[in-house]
Chains A and B, each alone.
Chain A
């Protein structure tokens, strides 16, 4: 591999990290509250709103069942509205976020549903408002599960980000296709794959480490 490819790989890695970080961040800002609401709004639950729960559930399912590459193309007008352009790395953040938000919502919903109903009852018996129960009980208790869910979301987004080359979003996936496939440079393809493997490993390990820091459910190892 010639030395002048190194800056190109570095550039592409930074673009991938930028797209994944931004879409995770915005996706969590949208998907987080949505997940909390989905987890607590069925009939008879804390924020009981069965109709809204069903409706939002349908929207989330619809978004999640659309193949990502079709989503990317289908929302080009919307992307242009938000980002001012439908081409480029920043524009690619729009479809990535729209794919991430419902996914993150479901992951957070699942984590929150895992919290023992007895804790909600105890908090209600203390005179807690629904908002206090969410802030002081549900989210802190679900934190290890939420962190692992976000880790899964980041790993998936690294994969998705490779597909946004189709609309001119750059990054590692796009580099692999353009140089590795279209210009017959298999060493670039290999380098891209290796970088992606390393990224995913780092994200997964970091996520597990942070989740373990939050997890007080098992007695801590008090070894050496």
Chain B
């Protein structure tokens, strides 16, 4: 199949209010989620990302527009065919939603029992799933005896039980500590690779998008405000919401002592331009600033910086102070060599 795994086509969701105008949770959403990729939808709480995710398995239905999953219209599906579609779409949750009365193995068996699978076929399948998520030693334990990370592994194994082609993740790491978050994200990445599973996740943390998503959509007030490959969006964020999510994630922010005295225009001949330089791909490893100093004699003061990997590509951000008088020349030099620059302000 070549088309998108999931396609939102003009999806709107209104909640009628008694004697008041409707609340519009989603407004004319157009979004294609590519096959076999990990796509992140990022937004603040109340932005509509949770409603959007629940459209994919029909837990929410659109007021207008279509949601196409594996070439079927979920919004128009009957109850019976919706139940069949749901068996092809796994889902994991922020608070895991495991049955306290069932052991790890029994929790993973639940979707198979619901699908009417033979008991004899369930046992080997569970053993395989438990091994895949690394919980063989915990198979007979109850959720209350597990750590948060282990619970989410059970959630993932359960979501994979019926062999879905799409996995939905509802803030799956938001209740976990950073170490556990990393392990769960690695597991998601591994099953995406090994099973060719399409993963659609929602999050409010740009770090999650940076770490595992190849594609991203930014949602704000029920509208998609920016979408594309993660790498592109990170290097050239166009919308203010995207930029605010990126602050802190790309590891650079203007230091407090500089930010406090920054102005919109240069004051005097000695003024310095505070400039953000973004390094993309292979250029991230080039010593461009050293060449700027060596070849043009422009001295540069580095204020903050970081280099990290986004979707396996190196991605660097630096905040520097340049002499304002030679700003244009410097920017031209850097951009000719494939770097992105943005002036944030000036200091005396």
Contact = CB atoms under 8 A, between A and B. Distances in A.
B212 interface: no
| Main DSSP-derived SS at the A contact region | helix
A3 interface: no
Number of chain B interface residues as a range: 20 to 34
A141 B100 CA distance: 7
A123 B101 CA distance: 14
Interface stretch (B81-89, B234-242, B295-303): B81-89
Interface string B98-127: 011110000000110111000000000000
Contact of B87 (A126, A143, A214, A216): A126
A124 B114 contact: no
B247 interface: no
Given A127-B115, A217-B144, A140 B59 contact: no
Contacts of B83: 127-129
Contacts, number: 69
B86 A126 contact: yes
A127 B81 CA distance: 9
A121 interface: yes
B97 A116 contact: yes
A118 B151 CA distance: 14
Nearest to A216: B142
Given A122-B93, A125-B57, A126-B86, A217 B100 contact: yes
A1 interface: no
Contacts of A140: 99, 101-102
Interface residues of A, number: 24
B182 interface: no
Interface string A169-199: 0000000000000000000000000000000
B59 A125 contact: yes
B114 A128 contact: yes
Nearest to B161: A126
A201 interface: no
Contacts of A217: 100, 144
Given A116-B97, A126-B162, A127-B83, 8 more contacts: A118-B93, A127-B115, A136-B113, A136-B114, A140-B102, A141-B101, A217-B100, A220-B142
29 contacts: A119-B97, A119-B99, A121-B59, A123-B114, A124-B59, A125-B57, A126-B86, A126-B114, A126-B115, A126-B162, A127-B82, A127-B86, A127-B87, A129-B83, A136-B113, A136-B114, A137-B99, A140-B99, A141-B99, A143-B101, A216-B100, A216-B101, A216-B102, A216-B142, A216-B144, A217-B100, A217-B144, A219-B144, A220-B145
Interface of B: 57, 59, 82-87, 89, 91, 93, 95, 97, 99-102, 110-111, 113-115, 142-145, 162, 168
Interface of A: 116, 118-119, 121-129, 132, 136-137, 140-141, 143, 214, 216-220
